[in-house]
Amino acid sequence: MADKPDLQQRPRRFYKAAEAGPAKDGEGGFAVLLDGRTPKSPAKSPLVLPTLALAQLVAAEWDAQVEVIDSTVMPATRLAFTAIDRIRETRAEVAREVAAYAGSDLLCYWAEHPTPLVERQKRDWGAMLDWAKAELDLHLKPAAGVIHAPQSPAALASVEALALTMDDYTLAGVAYAAGLFGSTVLALALRAGKVTGRKALDLSRLEEIFQAETWGQDAEAVARAEALAVEAQVLERWFAALRR
């Protein structure tokens, strides 16, 4: 991973006010407005979102910048740029990525021992797989151990088809969440409001949490988990804003 850019290399904050409002020039949707002007994505498209709540979420990140604009602490903005610049042009590819995560979904790989961990996975992960089956007609089969166990082509095809029905902003969020959690099921559950961002993250870290409870906390692991929690909570707010 590249080193974090020095503050002097980042653009300085050039605006007084960051807010959200109806997009101008017949664009439709809601724009992020910096002193009344809409910033552009890296591909030079206006930063316009489908709901006011989502535009407000992104605008809040711009408003939180102080002397310089630090994109590393603007996850909703980065996700918006992804939806605007990438998803529109590569929907089929992104849908296949979401299906690929389902093909090796973390929730389908249960431990063989110790027994308390296995029982927790069967209870918590099993409940999520049952939800996906009941609500999404998504049939993923769990297996014991870490050796890859292929899912049925029909199951993966249904995930891909579902992804293709999503709008660009929802698909961007689901694809990002699937990568963050290593689980398409958790991404879809978060999108549906079945779980919170923190709960989804904790489920994805179930084995790590179990080990910490057994052997004690590692400071570096705790710091990493808290950083991931910020991303997960932004995804929760992202999906909630899309539903408004």
Residues 83 and 140: their CA atoms lie apart, in Å, by 28
The pLDDT of residue 3 is: 44
- Mean pLDDT lowest among 7-11, 160-164, 188-192, 228-232: 7-11
Q: What are 57-94's pLDDT values in tens digits?
A: 999 999 999 999 999 999 999 999 999 999 989 999 99
Alpha helical stretches, state H, 83-205: 91-103, 115-136, 153-165, 168-181, 184-192, 197-204
What is the phi-psi region of residue 13: left when phi exceeds 0, alpha when psi lies from -120 to 50, beta otherwise? beta
Residue 175 CA: distances (Å) to CA of 7, 82, 132, 145, 207: 30, 11, 17, 25, 23
Residues 52 and 38: their CA atoms lie apart, in Å, by 14
Q: What are 176-233's pLDDT values in tens digits?
A: 999 999 999 999 999 999 999 999 999 999 999 999 999 888 888 889 999 999 999 9
Rounded to the nearest angstrom, the gap between the alpha carbon of residue 61 and the centroid of all alpha carbons in its chain is: 17
Residue 5 confidence class, pLDDT cut points 50, 70, 90: very low
Residues 129 and 140: their CA atoms lie apart, in Å, by 7
Tokens of 220: 């570096």
Residue 1 confidence class, pLDDT cut points 50, 70, 90: very low
Residues 61 and 172: their CA atoms lie apart, in Å, by 18
Residue 180 near residue 75, CB atoms below 8 Å: no
Between 163 and 218, residue with greater pLDDT: 163
Q: Which of 114, 103, 140, 137 is nearest to 125 (CA)?
A: 140
What is the phi-psi region of residue 126: left when phi exceeds 0, alpha when psi lies from -120 to 50, beta otherwise? alpha
